[in-house]
Structure 1
C-alpha cells in the first residue's frame, strides 16, 4: 500500500500541487497524511500518524524530500525508521525509490556525502574560529550589556526597590543574562 505525505510550512501556503502529484502517482487520497507546520518543528501530527500506520511492504510517497525531513539528519533518521518498519520511500521530484536496490544505494550515497560535507563544514568553522582567536578577535555574539550599561545595571541590581523585571525591560536583556553577569541579588540570598 502507498501512503502519501504532504506538508506546507504556513497556513497561507497551498498544498494542492503536492496532493495532485501524490494522487497522480497512485496514492489513495484517503491515505495521504498532511501537516501545515514548519519542518523545523519536531512535532508533526500528520507525519506521526503516518508513521504509526506504516506496515511492512508499504511505500511512503512524498512530492519532494524536503517535505518529509526538516534537515538531512532528520531525513536520514526518518528513512531508517521507514526501513525498520519494512517499508520504502519514494520521492516523486527526485525520482528516488528506496524499494529498489539502486534507490537504496543512491539514498545512502547521498547520506554519506552529506555526512562528509557536515564534517568538512565543522572543520572549516573550527579552523576559522581558531584563526580569529589567534588574531585577537572574540568570535560569537556581542554582549547584550556594554561596560557602561553593566555599571548602571550593577547600581540598580544592588537597589532592592528596583524590580528585576524593570531592569530587564529598561536594558533589553534577559533575566538569565542578568544572573550570569551579576549573580543572585542580595535580597535573594
Structure 2
C-alpha cells in the first residue's frame, strides 16, 4: 500500500515547527506520518530525512510545506527532487506551491510541469546570485575609485622605524632585534622595509629575507 509522509524541518532548536505542522495536518496527515527534524544551521546532515528516504518506496508521497525544506540551495533541491521522483519513483507535494505536485498525472503532463517550475525557480535563484555578485563587484570598484580602502586598516609605522631600518640596511642590526624594539613581528618589519626601499629605488646591499641573527 502506498504511503504518505510529511517532512518538517526547522533550522534551529529555538524555531517553532507549528506552522509547518498545521499545514501538514490540514492536508490530512497524522502525527505518526510526519517526520520533524530540528538542527543547527551549520549541520545539514539531516539524519531523520536520510532515514525517511530509505523508507520511501515507489508510489509513496512526500509532503513538504515549502521547496526549501529539501535543501540549502537550488542545486541541492534539484538533486533531492530527482532522487525522489526519478530514482525512488515517488511523488512530491509542495503545499506552498500547488504546481509542484507530481501526483497530478504520473503521465507526462504533471511531471513535466513540475520539472519546468523547478528549473525556472533554479534559474531565477542562480541569476539573482549572479546579480548580487555583480552588484558587489561594481560597488567595490566604485568605492576604490573614490579612494576607499578595503581589508585591514594599514598600520602606522611606529616612531623610530626609519632609524632602525637604516641600521638594518647598513647591517648594524638584525630584523628580529629591530622588530622587538618596535614591538612588531620581524615579518612585518621586513615587509615595511621592503615597501620603503622598493618605491624609492634604493638597492640595499642585502636581500630581504628571514634573518637568524
Q: TM-score range by the shorter chain?
A: 0.5 to 0.7
Q: CA deviation at 1:44?
A: 1.5
Per-residue deviation, residues 121-149 of structure 1 (Å, max 9, x unmatched): 2222223333333444333x436x94579
Q: Which has the higher helix share?
A: 1
Separation of aligned partners in 2, 1:142 and 1:71: 31
For 1:65-104, what aligned pairs fall within 5 Å after superposition? 65-85=67-87, 86-99=89-102, 100=110, 101-104=112-115
4+ residue stretches of structure 1 with deviation over 6 A? none
Separation of aligned partners in 1, 2:80 and 2:146: 43
Structure 1: segments with no counterpart, 5+ residues: 156-183
Aligned twin of 1:168: none
Aligned twin of 1:105: 116
Greater RCO structure (CA 8 Å; 6+ sep): 1
For 1:119-134, what aligned pairs fall within 5 Å after superposition? 119-134=130-145
Separation of aligned partners in 1, 2:34 and 2:55: 11
Pairing 1:114–2:117 present: no
TM-score of the aligned structures, taking structure 2 as reference length? 0.58
Per-residue deviation, residues 89-125 of structure 1 (Å, max 9, x unmatched): 2111233424123233222211112122222222222
Aligned twin of 2:152: 142
The total of aligned residue pairs comes to: 159
Q: CA deviation at 1:66?
A: 3.3
Over aligned residues, Cα RMSD in angstroms? 3.5
